[in-house]
Amino acid sequence: MAVRSPLITVMANAALKAARGLQRDFGEVEQLQVSRKGPADFVSNADRAAEQVLVAELSKARPRYGFLLEEGGEIAGADTSNRWVIDPLDGTTNFLHGVPHFAISIGLERDGQPFAGVVYDPLRDEMFWAESGGGAFLNNRRLRVSSRKVFADALVATGMPFKGRVMHPAYPYMLDSVWGQTAGVRRFGCASLDLVYVAAGRFDGFFEFALSPWDISAGIALVREAGGAVTDPQGGTQGLAHGDVLASNTHLHGDLKAALEDGVRRVPTESLPSAT
């Protein structure tokens, strides 16, 4: 049986407590008061309430740590090495439409790098967790990325641009390249779950652009601890700071990167941003 460290226990307990409100409110989305922060980017009372619970619980356990919050912004901590990176409701649009696919994502950055992560799917009661050097787990089961080596057999997840988001000009061509070479592409609208599904071997790869730190911090920790590779789509790490992510098992990472590069090469010149 997997033994959780005190750090993971704190994170998991906070997620469980915050999930109670989400479970209560899911299925009653028509009664929720919803405000709008931007096109296709909604925030519910449930979202805010979950964040408040997470901040309270994590602050109680680690009072010196700072926060980077989807709703509340950045809160400086006395301990400048450790920072919680939190999305209290990843998959908000799914939640508000009654689609049962959303999660709570809690990442811990240590000295600017993903150190630990918890992603909790409250409807399936699936707690994904990992800590640097300790492996990745789903509830009490050890996780490993898939061992698939043939790109044609791969199942790849992505996040498609939507209203209000600037579309990467090459994205349609990248998508065409990937689905033309693999067993399929899936888009479920919850990046944190996409990443931990890679860690669990459910997906063989995942790519998306312009994500926020709270979307990916926990998931990156999970994929790496499950033996996978996480880079930006160019194979480096600079793009990760801008939320451009490519994650997969190590066998297929180069194939997925090459497929994305093939898509970029097919973009008409007039579609590319001007250098001036």
pLDDT in tens, 123-154: 999 999 999 999 999 999 999 999 999 999 99
Instruction: Give the end of a domain, one of 104, 123, 142.
Output: 142
pLDDT tens digit sequence for 232-252: 999 999 889 999 999 999 999
- The total number of residues written for the chain in this structure: 276
How many separate domains does the chain show?
2
Looking at residue 276, its pLDDT comes to 39
Determine contact, residues 138/2, Cβ cutoff 8 Å: no
Q: Which residues contact 136 (CB under 8 A, 6 or more apart)?
A: 128, 129, 130, 142, 143, 144, 199, 221, 222, 223, 225, 226
Q: What angle do CA 271, 272, 276 make, to 5 degrees?
A: 125
Looking at residue 33, its pLDDT comes to 63
Task: Assess whether 26 and 69 both reside in one domain.
Answer: yes
The CATH number of the domain holding residue 190 is 3.40.190.80
Task: Assess whether 126 and 54 both reside in one domain.
Answer: yes
Instruction: Give the end of a domain, one of 142, 173, 193.
Output: 142
Task: Assess whether 56 and 175 both reside in one domain.
Answer: no
Task: Assess whether 128 and 161 both reside in one domain.
Answer: no
Q: Examine residue 276 and state whether it is found in any structural domain, yes or no.
A: no
Rg of the chain, C-alpha, whole Å? 18
Count of H helices and E strands in the chain? 7, 15
Q: In the predicted model, is pLDDT for residue 117 greater than 70?
A: yes
Q: In the predicted model, is pLDDT for residue 170 greater than 90?
A: no
In this prediction the pTM is 0.92
Which position has the token pair 């009654």? 98
- Mean pLDDT to the nearest integer, 190-199: 98
Residue 212, classified by CB atoms within 10 Å of its CB into exposed (0-12), middle (13-18) or buried (19+), is: middle
Q: 40 or 109, which is more confident?
A: 109
Task: Assess whether 103 and 194 both reside in one domain.
Answer: no
- Mean pLDDT to the nearest integer, 199-207: 98
pLDDT tens digit sequence for 77-96: 999 999 999 999 999 889 98
Task: Assess whether 228 and 164 both reside in one domain.
Answer: yes
pLDDT tens digit sequence for 11-61: 999 999 999 999 988 877 756 666 666 544 566 788 999 999 999 999 999
User: d(Cα 198, Cα 42) in Å, to the nearest integer?
Assistant: 27
Full domain range(s) for residue 109: 6-142
Looking at residue 42, its pLDDT comes to 60
Task: Assess whether 131 and 255 both reside in one domain.
Answer: no
Task: Assess whether 132 and 32 both reside in one domain.
Answer: yes
Task: Assess whether 71 and 26 both reside in one domain.
Answer: yes
- Please name the helix (run of DSSP H) or strand (run of DSSP E) that holds residue 81, with its range, or none: strand 79-90
pLDDT range class, residue 198, cuts 50, 70, 90: very high
- Mean pLDDT to the nearest integer, 93-113: 93
Determine contact, residues 178/150, Cβ cutoff 8 Å: no
> Quick one: which of 39, 122, 134, 129 has its CA closest to 88?
122
- Mean pLDDT to the nearest integer, 109-129: 97
Q: In the predicted model, is pLDDT for residue 179 greater than 90?
A: yes
Instruction: Give the end of a domain, one of 142, 163, 198.
Output: 142
Task: Assess whether 12 and 127 both reside in one domain.
Answer: yes
Poorest-pLDDT segment among 2-6, 106-110, 196-200:
2-6
Task: Assess whether 85 and 176 both reside in one domain.
Answer: no
